[in-house]
Amino acid sequence: MQKKQKQLSNYPVWFDGTNINEAAFCEEFLHTRKILFSNNAFFTPEGRVTDDLPLRGEIFESLKHYAINNVPRKVTNILEVMKLAAYIEDFPPEANKIYLANGTIYIDGTFIPEKPDIVRMRLPVNYNPDAPEASTWLSFLDQLLYPEDIPTLQELSDSKQQGTTHDDYKRQWWRGKITNWCCFEQLIRHEYERRKYQ
């Protein structure tokens, strides 16, 4: 009896020597990772999880020495239990922060390189406080648009990109500290085509 108790003490709390307790596994897993479930998706400090294969892989790595058969089904069951264990009803975006690939920028211009928060999305762009002014970009705009149209384009691109019109953020974006071409590429292309055939 003592030998069996000693052997069980070497096992994780979610394994009794024969069976895996999925709820206990999820509790331990969530205790060591930042993850939540809302709006039918998992979210981490990197943003929305669009492919759960890496998450399944992590679960498998934890189970592989304890699960003998039906491992894919066990992983799926644990993932389903995790949805319940990590569920929160509302996960509103934070209007005072912009989550970037290399950290978080606050609307007041403060930048922190850490990723402490679970977030809805993280933009795939980096913040560089030492970036020079985007002279090529500004020159391109000067060639493409009338001078009075440039501020309008700036307003359109910023408000569509983040849903904000905060001047500090816009100035950093406009100077090339934060760049994201795809948000208004079509607008520029349309304007270029319009002027090309005038």
For residue range 128-184, what is the model confidence (pLDDT) as tens digits? 888 777 778 778 888 888 888 777 776 665 544 444 434 444 444 444 544 444 444
**Is the confidence at residue 6, as pLDDT, over 80?**
no
Residue 125 pLDDT > 80: yes
Say which amino acid occupies 114: E
Four-point Cα dihedral 161, 165, 166, 169, nearest 10: 30
pLDDT, residue 84, reads 95
Per-residue pLDDT, 98:
85
Q: What percentage of the chain has pLDDT greater than the value 70?
A: 73
Beta-bridge partner residues of 87: 37
What pLDDT is recorded for position 190? 46
- The DSSP element (H or E) to which 92 belongs, if any, is none
Q: Which residue has the higher pLDDT, 51 or 3?
A: 51
pLDDT at 8: 55
Q: Give the separation between CA 110 and CA 104, rounded to whole angstroms.
A: 8
Q: What is the pLDDT of the chain when averaged over all its residues? A: 77
Closest Cα to residue 46, out of 125, 101, 114, 111? 101
